[in-house]
Chains A and B, each alone.
Chain A
Amino acid sequence: MQARLKTPIKEEDVRKLNVRDIVYLDGIIYTGRDEVHIHALEQAEHGEKPPVDFKGMALYHCGPIMKKVGEEWKLVAAGPTTSSRMNSLEPKFIEKFRPSAIIGKGGMSQPTIDAMSKFGAVYLAITGGAAVLAAKGITKVHGVHWFEFGMPEAIWVLEANNFGPLIVAIDSKGKSMFADIDSKVKGNIDKAKKMLKLA
């Protein structure tokens, strides 16, 4: 199935998605990686709110290259970063802030898959390294928060227009394409070992 969705995405629409579906996104996307996860959760512990409301929105594991032209930020390149670095913080982030979609590369571990099932979210995979192509789907930079963490670690507020193609790699029903590939890979190890004269 192919879907075009606009953020904020309703839970019922998220729940309709299955692994291998192709999604294109419109609307606001927030970037957030290591430091955003650390600080947003720290703030939440102290009863404070992060500068943006992630509810129903798409969180993009991305540290873009931005260029300041006059007073405005211009997006140069914006591919995904390795999502697994956020494995230990993502389940809590999803529980606290309730984003509908996480965009990244490489997939995430079981606790995040479980949180996505429980709270209704999906993981959308985008091709790593294809940063100019990805930037084509972003039409405007609305602003930036937490710039003091550095350009890659800030929250960038991006306007997406037909951003994709994204593959639903983890759905809200506990299915993960990466887990499927993992079990296939396990089955192939013996053959590789034979070719290396290890078995």
Chain B
Amino acid sequence: MTDDTSIAQAIGDALAAYDALTALGEEIEDEWGYVNDLAAAWRERLETVVASRGGEAMSAASAAALDRLIAEIEAIHDPHRAIDWLSTFPQVALIALGEAP
């Protein structure tokens, strides 16, 4: 079973949520540079998936996974936890898409 959403659209939604998470992590001033380098590295990895599979339709399971994952990071309000999730979120997203982190 597939979803109407393409992988490119789903990753686009994921990256929008990821940007908000990055902004939250930036509140830790001492980690501003690391936060942005980390976000850039993972954004680049997710964009390689868009480049190679962006036109594919999401499976229903993968679409539900990314929706739930986005809800998980939207529930984060602590900037320290946000930094942890800047690394965790892309790993979970890539696994949900059948990719290696």
The judgment on whether A and B are partners is: no
Chain B: residues with CB nearer than 8 A to chain A? Answer: none
Chain A: residues with CB nearer than 8 A to chain B? Answer: none
